[in-house]
A and B are shown apart, each in its own frame.
Chain A
Amino acid sequence: MEDKIVVKNLNLYFDTLAVLRSINLNIKANEILSIIGPANSGKTSFLRTLNRLNDLIPTARITGEVLLDGLDIYKKDLSLPWLRRKVGMVFALPVPLPRSIFENIVYGPRLNGVTNKLRLEELTEKTLKAAFLWDEVKDRLHTSGTKLSGGQQQRLCIARTLALEPEVILLDEPCSGLDPLSTSKIEEALYELKKQYTIVLVTNNTKQAARVGDNVAFFLMGDLIEYGSTEQIFTVPSDKRTEDYITGRFG
């Protein structure tokens, strides 16, 4: 399969703190890459370099290259809105904007200039169905998105990202605050989604990585320790530290 994203020798610093060190990683199209690792190992920071959200942090400094379909996303005058529509992101904490479910979904498309009411309604239905939320909210699309349960909010956020019609979806521990039922719904959605999208999933839950990931990358204190197929990582990890982590001996 071809590489959707190529990360070459990526370093990220906050002030003088090196948060990511010489990361080299290829992310293949139409696969789910899970990223695992203990707290503070730089997983979130890595995701945020892929859609350039770290640009918001004044102290952040980046060296190296990130190529999306061969294009360097850190090149000068690259349009950030364009990049972020191609590379959608779902945050660890679900943050519906303080407006209705419908308005949350069409927020991105509207900013991109889509005004046709019918088109927006279609998009809402399609993305909510893909996020397995449609049946639960189809009768109250115009009530506030903040009134949904945590699991529903997170699926709303996934649907909202899908509405951008992105090519890559970044998910940062999307199930961290959720019950098992919501979690399995989201996993089911991810499984369907990878047919169309490239997915990078950060997760604290190694079992989840084993369940849904095609490949796994293990981060530790800013280093990429090991990368391989899910099967290989979870049966014959080549690094001692990976083994310790997935068998729960630290972290």
Chain B
Amino acid sequence: MKSRENLIQFGLLITALSTIVIHLLIALFIFQEGLPIILRVGINEFVCGTHWSPQQGQFGIFPMIVGTAWITAGAILVSLPLSLSCAIYLSEFSTPKVRGTIKPIIELLAGIPSVVYGFMGMVILFPMIRNHLGGAGPSILSASIILGIMILPTITSIAIDSLQAVPYSYREGSLSLGATRWQTIRMAILPAAKSGILSGIILGIGRAVGETMAVIMISGNSVIIPNSLFDPARTLTANIALEMNYAVGDHRQALFATGIVLFITIMILNIIANVLSRRGVEK
């Protein structure tokens, strides 16, 4: 009896360790495939090199890093006003019933396939940009708008949870001192929920950096260092997805190396979000 229970516990421990094993395996395989070329080309040359022409043996991913940074920054700029509005409105100004209805609707946005978002960018945004702002359509601007919408649910949902986690006494305390609701939110609630909201934003950034299919469809994918919102750009993820199916040899390794850069970026963002959300809990 006892030994059977122990056996079961051991089996469950194995399943619990699976996420660690998978995580380490991912790191192992990606580094094993991608690290050699980084070492051969040199980290500096690989990360800061501006020429990407695999046929000529030139592997610089700086344009993709800049493209990813532009598009991600744009996405956050598009997303923040909307997601914070939603979060503050639903948490502080609406009834629990409205919140209970709208929150799942916003979370449903996360369920729409990313290829559908990309498609919406192609059929709705491109013509709009062409007709009103000029340019071809595929650009940093369109990618930012679509990605901004895609990361809305992540940020909104975590921000609502953080706001709701602020003890009710903060609100009562501030309101009883004669503050208006908005003053209360600004002076008492937002500061208390700051870490949680920030961790949501960081996770949103992670989503934007990692998004692939939608970005391929709307960012234009040219390997250039963009200098305006209307320029096309290529992200790290797009670089991998676009060339993987025909890449061989050094070229393939360079794509895995792009994966390494992406992996490290995401890990750093994850760690920051983790620390922030833990700090939010401890308070």
Contact = CB atoms under 8 A, between A and B. Distances in A.
A132 to B, nearest CB: 35
A81 B2 CA distance: 10
B108 interface: no
Contacts of B1: 79, 81
A174 to B, nearest CB: 30
A206 to B, nearest CB: 40
Nearest to A77: B2
Interface residues of B, number: 2
A134 B98 CA distance: 48
A83 B2 CA distance: 14
Interface in A76-121: 77, 79, 81
B3 to A, nearest CB: 11
B8 to A, nearest CB: 14
Nearest to B1: A79
Interface in B1-36: 1-2
A79 B1 CA distance: 9
A81 B1 CA distance: 10
Nearest to A81: B1
A79 B2 CA distance: 8
A179 B2 CA distance: 43
A81 to B, nearest CB: 7
Interface in A48-89: 77, 79, 81
Contacts of A81: 1
Contacts of B2: 77, 79
Contacts of A79: 1-2
A77 B1 CA distance: 12
Interface string A227-246: 00000000000000000000
A15 to B, nearest CB: 19
A77 B3 CA distance: 11
A63 to B, nearest CB: 25
A79 B5 CA distance: 12
A8 B2 CA distance: 28
A79 B4 CA distance: 13
Interface string B126-163: 00000000000000000000000000000000000000
Interface string B101-144: 00000000000000000000000000000000000000000000
A190 B45 CA distance: 85
A162 B37 CA distance: 73
Interface of A: 77, 79, 81
4 contacts: A77-B2, A79-B1, A79-B2, A81-B1
Interface of B: 1-2
Closest 4 A/B residue pairs (Cβ): A79-B1, A79-B2, A77-B2, A81-B1
